[in-house]
Amino acid sequence: MSASTPDAGGDVVSAVLVVIEHDRGVLATASLEALTAARALAGQLGAEVEALTIGEAADALVDDVARYGAARTHQAHDPLLGDYGPEAWGEVVAQAVRALAPTVVLACGTDRGNEVMAQAAARLDVPFAANATEFRPNGTFEMTRVRWGGSLLEIATLDGETKLVTVAHHAVDAVPGDAPGAPEGVALAVDLDPSLARTVVVDRIEREAGVTLATAPVVVGGGRGVGSAEAFAPLQELALELGGVVGCSRAVTNNGWRNHTDQVGQTGTRIAPDVYFACGISGAIQHWVGAMASKNIIAINTDQQANMVTKAGYAVIADLHEMIPAITAEIRRRRAG
């Protein structure tokens, strides 16, 4: 079946094609995870890793992509590809699949990665599996994939001549290839209907630089136990003291106490700070899944049986309204002394 790229000897080698995500030419580092996963997968399949970049701005990524093991990078150019557009990008992937007939197409399981692959799968009328963590490709092409945002794993099989899969973000550590070859970019001819412009980004307000919830070294998280919007002030103060930010549970956003941008969890942000203070948060699975990558968790809760307390590395059984100011005061005392 899907054999594609002539190797040096003229034999035909099947390919694992990696769709490289970038933003106006800036590489999404999650793509390096997909390339790393692709190398392992290609090894199991006796295939080669190739890459696809979309838009002229991404041509310069050929070096990075080669370092992570792509034998060659197919480069698609079109006036429509000046900025991100899910339908245009999905159509490019679909045309690449038709032209190159890869065995597997991988992308990273980010918002854009999943969206582009879904668009490509719809156009090709083939199945697509989002957020795989492991592959057992020989035989039925079995995978492990994430359900419930990571609270549950599914063993699944994927049928179809070309397999479209995204690799769950953070499931694989990005590692450069052992013996990367010379960067090689080859033009991929694409023919895009002008109507695809209807979903290309028309404007963007740049984000202000600064610590974000996803990258903060310290997160002081509050749940329903905080009780009100105003009562977050001491959490904010502690966060400031430690160069961190405030996070919260869905109970808090639902009550309108904090903006959803502060929400940690399955439908919020995944955090991975050095320390996560989980204050007045029961530790529902959908919250936990967003917090579990934290290096240390200190739970503050009045209920010793709370799931957050039993799962955290450290716990204090106390009223958060007394406890948080006491911690801030103790930090200031030691710093002063």
Partner 1 sequence: MRVLVCVKRVPAPGSKINITADGQQVDTASLGFTMSPHEECAVEAGAQLVEQHGGEATVLTLGSVAAEEQVRYAVSVGMQNGVVLPITDDEWDPQRTAEAITAAVRELETADGPFDLILFGNESADSGGFQVGVRVAYALGRAMVNGAKGLTVTDGTAHVEREADAGRETYELPMPAVVGVKEGINLPRYPTMKGRLASKKAHVTTIEPAGSVGGLAKVSLQPPPERKSETILLGTGPDAAAAVVDVLEEIGVL
Ligand X SMILES: Cc1cc2nc3c(=O)[nH]c(=O)nc-3n(C[C@H](O)[C@H](O)[C@H](O)COP(=O)(O)OP(=O)(O)OC[C@H]3O[C@@H](n4cnc5c(N)ncnc54)[C@H](O)[C@@H]3O)c2cc1C
Site residues (CB under 6 A) for ligand X, limited to 232-291: 249-252, 263-268, 280-282, 284, 286-287, 290
In this chain, which stretch among 40-48, 73-81, 82-90, 220-228 interacts with ligand X, using CB under 6 A? 220-228
Which two three-digit tokens encode residue 228?
Answer: 């009100």
Selection from partner 1, ligand X, none that 301 binds (CB < 5 to 8 A by kind) is ligand X
CB of 102 to partner 1, least distance (A): 16
Sorted by sequence, the CB contacts under 8 Å of residue 63 that are 6+ apart come out as 183
Which two three-digit tokens encode residue 297?
Answer: 């968790």
Within 295-324, the residues that bind partner 1 by CB under 8 A are 295-296, 298-299, 307, 309-319, 322-323
Residues in the chain: 337
| Strands in 280-327 per DSSP E | 297-301, 314-317
CB 218 within 8 A of CB 243: yes
Quick one: 72 exposed, middle or buried, by C-beta within 10 A (0-12, 13-18, 19+)? buried
Residue nearer to partner 1 on the CB measure, 73 or 294: 294
Interface with partner 1: number of residues (CB under 8 A): 99
Selection from ligand X, partner 1, none that 225 binds (CB < 5 to 8 A by kind) is ligand X
CB of 309 to ligand X, least distance (A): 8
Interface with ligand X: number of residues (CB under 6 A): 28
Residue 224 binds to ligand X (criterion: CB under 6 A): yes
Residue 330 binds to ligand X (criterion: CB under 6 A): no
3-state SS assignment for residue 321: helix
Selection from partner 1, ligand X, none that 332 binds (CB < 5 to 8 A by kind) is none
Q: According to CB under 8 A, which one of 146, 219, 220, 271 is a site residue for partner 1?
A: 146
Residue nearer to ligand X on the CB measure, 7 or 303: 303
Closest CA to 120 of 163, 77, 151: 163
Strand order from edge to edge, sheet including 104-109: 142-147, 128-136, 163-168, 104-109, 15-19, 48-54, 72-76, 185-188
- Rounded CA gap, 48 and 43, in Å? 8
In this chain, which stretch among 11-19, 43-51, 95-103, 301-309 interacts with ligand X, using CB under 6 A? 301-309
Radius of gyration of the chain (CA): 23
Q: According to CB under 6 A, which one of 138, 261, 302, 304 is a site residue for ligand X?
A: 302
Within 75-134, the residues that bind partner 1 by CB under 8 A are 84, 86-87, 90, 111-112, 114-115, 117-119, 121-123, 126-131
Within 225-284, the residues that bind partner 1 by CB under 8 A are 242, 250, 253-254, 256, 259-261, 263, 266-268, 274-275, 282-284
CB 318 within 8 A of CB 334: no
3-state SS assignment for residue 114: helix
Q: Pairing relation of β-strands 218-222 and 163-168?
A: unpaired
Residue numbers at the binding site for ligand X (CB under 6 A): 223-225, 249-252, 263-268, 280-282, 284, 286-287, 290, 300-303, 306, 319-321
